[in-house]
Chains A and B, each alone.
Chain A
């Protein structure tokens, strides 16, 4: 029964005594306000010259206590809060909550709703990957990809905004259906966009992937072997880069993913290059999915239950997980029959992808740490919730 509670100062303190300090090692604080920390993630690095000896991620700089708020908020309102966690796959987050509630109340949704949901999930995935590609270029030092990534994402955002009404926090998929039916010119604009984005992805490859500096900076950097990836609980592109073909769209086949032909992209070594290359390939897969779906959207109502009906889940535990752009998002609900959940927990993909960096980044340089963090594609509000 050996329980030793520690505090951060003790950790930082005994880091000093554990190894007698050579004049070389020193502490540095890659603080909450750092350009490449994708938000407010803080690393305390123990450096020797430029090589990282030890890395301690410190979180909590954007911890708003969403799970505590979730306990005093009705199920329909909790869908709003999931937008504010991982704002790059906000529609997919809404889908996770609505799917949990629909499974609990075994509420049936028709084909039209499922295809619209799948189309918007794939649109959200493309949006998140183009944004990631721009920020990846910026982290490696090239400023122009940032603008190209945003430019392509902006076209898609205007299409989505026309239907969902908002650009970033969509709150579009509700338990029992979709908030608004798709607009008339949605299909035309999406087809135009697919024709527009395909040559763009080739342009991305020419600008970044074929660049020898990028290849040198990402090959064999931050290798995550298969066993380590599994034991570190990483999911999504990070896990698939290490060679594990785990993609809930294929295994769980919710929505209309079973009716659509797409391949799960798997890497071999699990280094930063694989994680980079997989996301570019996933963008192409998402485009194929949308292309197959967009022509034959079945007719039907876009909302099965009226939006204002109150939702009460019977007593017990409910859990469902979904594949977002960054990994598996699991919603766990413990309900005691009341209108708001007794306990609601989000299994955030970013939180579990983050911790493999403590093992990967040791022995590498600061610029490698920046590359790894940006290939892990972390969203810090989703880490802290």
Chain B
């Protein structure tokens, strides 16, 4: 396999291009979510996957599998606490490749309303498992979850996950205008916090 890759020009195996497109199309259009709801975001996730108004089965993600073996996408919905970290990691490792993770809700992105003074909440799920798509909101509306799934589908179709499996793209980066990188934003936020102007 190694020498084959060297043959390719932009790290894209010439022979596989069309086959890969078909497989990506198949994987993108039949994402089977794994039910993993802990708190209030789980209700919005159920609202999206299981309710008559917002119907996730339009995008092919209707079959909500219970066992991690048959699931493709792990929608982490709700606060993750220290005691839940081990089962979450075990579940993620039990899932079969190609697997994706959508972190819905501000609790999974950064700990949400329980960041300060909570002795158990994990501040951000990406400390535990690699996350593909972040869906902000507390709880995010079902349409926001659809946005997350459509972004994931686009990423799969663009084959942006397979090129280098180690680094997972963070969509936040994609939305940044040219010339600005994430570190600048972090420093700016730190100064504001230190200066306590907002109090």
Do A and B interact directly, with beta carbons closer than 8 Å?
A: yes
Q: Is A51 an interface residue (CB 8 A)?
A: no
Interface, chain B (partner A; CB < 8 A): 35-40, 42-44, 46-47, 50-53, 66, 78-79, 81, 83-84, 87, 91, 113-114, 116-121, 138-139, 141
Interface pair B40/A87, CB less than 8 Å apart: yes
Q: Of the candidates B36, B39, B42, B114, which one forms a contact with A69 in the assembled complex, judged by CB atoms under 8 Å apart?
A: B114
CA distance A83 to B87 in the complex (A): 26
| A14-64 CB contacts (< 8 Å) to partner B | 31-33, 35, 39-40, 60-64
Q: Report the Cα distance A40→B121, complex, angstroms.
A: 15
Contact, CB under 8 Å: B39 / A87: yes
Pick from A145-153, A173-181, A370-378 the stretch touching chain B: A145-153
Q: Which 4 A-B pairs have the closest CB atoms?
A: A150-B51, A151-B52, A87-B40, A381-B39
Question: Does A61 contact B81, Cβ atoms closer than 8 Å?
Answer: yes
Task: Check A169 against B81 for contact (C-beta < 8 Å).
Answer: no
**Most chain B beta-carbon neighbours within 10 Å: one of A62, A73, A147:** A62
Question: Is B40 a contact of A32 with CB atoms below 8 Å?
Answer: no
Closest Cβ of chain B to A312, distance in Å, is 18
Q: CB-defined interface of A139-179 with B at 8 Å, one 1/0 digit per residue?
A: 00000001110110010000000000001110000000000
Check if A62 sits within 8 Å of B84, measured CB to CB: yes
Contact residues in B for A61 (Cβ distance below 8 Å): 38, 81, 83-84, 87
Min CB distance, A158 to chain B, in Å?
9
Contact A168 B43 (CB under 8 A): yes
Given known A-B contacts A32-B87, A35-B66, A150-B50, A381 and B118 have beta carbons under 8 A apart: no
Q: Contact check: which of B40, B53, B114 meets A168 at CB < 8 Å?
A: B40
Q: CA separation between A40 and B81, bound complex, in Å? A: 11
The distance from the CB of A332 to the nearest CB of chain B, in whole angstroms, is: 19
Q: How far is the CA of A167 from the CA of B137 in the complex (A)?
A: 12
Q: List 9 A-B contacts (CB under 8 A).
A: A33-B36, A35-B35, A61-B84, A61-B87, A68-B119, A69-B114, A84-B39, A154-B51, A168-B139
User: In the assembled complex, which residues on chain B have CB atoms less than 8 Å from the CB atom of A73?
Assistant: 117
Q: Which residues of the partner chain A approach B40 to less than 8 Å between Cβ atoms? A: 83-84, 87, 168-169, 381
Q: How far is the CA of A208 from the CA of B48 in the complex (A)?
A: 24
**A32 to B114 alpha-carbon distance, docked (Å):** 21
Contact A64 B84 (CB under 8 A): no
Residues of B within 8 A of A31 (CB): 87
Q: Which residues of A contact B37 (CB under 8 A)?
A: 39
A interface vs B, CB < 8 Å?
Answer: 31-33, 35, 39-40, 60-66, 68-69, 71-73, 80-81, 83-84, 87-88, 131, 146-148, 150-151, 154, 167-169, 380-381
A154 touches B139 (CB 8 A): no
CB pair A63–B81 under 8 Å, yes or no, is yes
Contact A65 B120 (CB under 8 A): yes
Q: Which residue of A lies closest to B39 (CB)?
A: A381
Given the complex, which residues of A lie within 8 Å of B39, measured CB to CB? 39, 62, 84, 87, 380-381
B108, chain A: closest CB distance, angstroms: 13
Supplied contacts A62-B78, A64-B114, 16 more A-B pairs, CB within 8 Å:
A33-B87, A39-B39, A62-B84, A63-B81, A64-B79, A69-B116, A69-B117, A80-B113, A87-B43, A147-B50, A151-B52, A167-B141, A168-B40, A168-B44, A168-B139, A169-B40
CB-CB under 8 A from B121, the residues of chain A are 64-65
Which residues of A have CB within 8 Å of B38?
39-40, 61-62, 380-381
Contact residues in A for B53 (Cβ distance below 8 Å)? 150-151, 154
Chain B: CB-nearest residue to A71? B117
Contact between chains at A169 and B51 (CB < 8 Å)? no
Name the distance in Å between A329's Cβ and chain B's nearest Cβ. 17
- Chain B residues with Cβ below 8 Å from A66 are 114
CB distance from B199 to the nearest CB of A (A): 13
Q: Hey, which chain B residues are within 8 Å of A83, CB to CB?
A: 40
Bound-complex Cα distance A66 to B66 (A): 30
Q: B145: shortest Cβ distance to chain A, in Å?
A: 13
Q: Kindly state the separation between the CA atoms of A31 and B91 in the bound complex, as whole angstroms.
A: 11
Q: Give the chain A neighbours of B50 by CB distance below 8 A.
A: 146-147, 150
Most chain B C-beta atoms within 10 Å of own C-beta, residue among A63, A71, A81, A131: A63
- A residues in contact with B119, CB < 8 Å: 65, 68
A72 pairs with B116, CB closer than 8 A: yes
Within the complex, the shortest CB–CB distance from A289 to chain B, in Å, comes to 24
In whole Å, how far is A313's beta carbon from the nearest beta carbon of chain B? 20
Q: Which residue of A lies closest to B53 (CB)?
A: A154
A381 proximity list for chain B (CB < 8 A): 38-40, 78-79
The reply to whether A69 and B118 contact each other, CB–CB distance below 8 Å, is yes
Is B42 a contact of A151 with CB atoms below 8 Å? no
CB closest chain-A residue, reference B36: A33
Instruction: From known contacts A60-B83, A63-B81, infer whether A147 and B52 are also in contact, taking CB-CB under 8 Å.
Output: yes
Nearest Cβ in chain A — how far from B67, in angstroms? Answer: 10
A119 to chain B, nearest CB (A): 22
Q: Judging by beta carbons under 8 Å apart, are B43 and A151 in contact?
A: no
Q: Which residues of A contact B78 (CB under 8 A)?
A: 39, 62, 381
Q: What B residues does A131 contact at CB under 8 A?
A: 43
B120 touches A63 (CB 8 A): yes
Alpha-carbon distance A64/B80, docked complex (angstroms): 9
Q: Knowing A65-B119, A168-B139 touch, does A151 contact B84 (C-beta < 8 A)?
A: no
CA distance A87 to B113 in the complex (A): 14
Question: Which chain A residues lie closer than 8 Å to B35 at the CB level?
Answer: 33, 35
Min Cβ gap B104→A in Å is 13
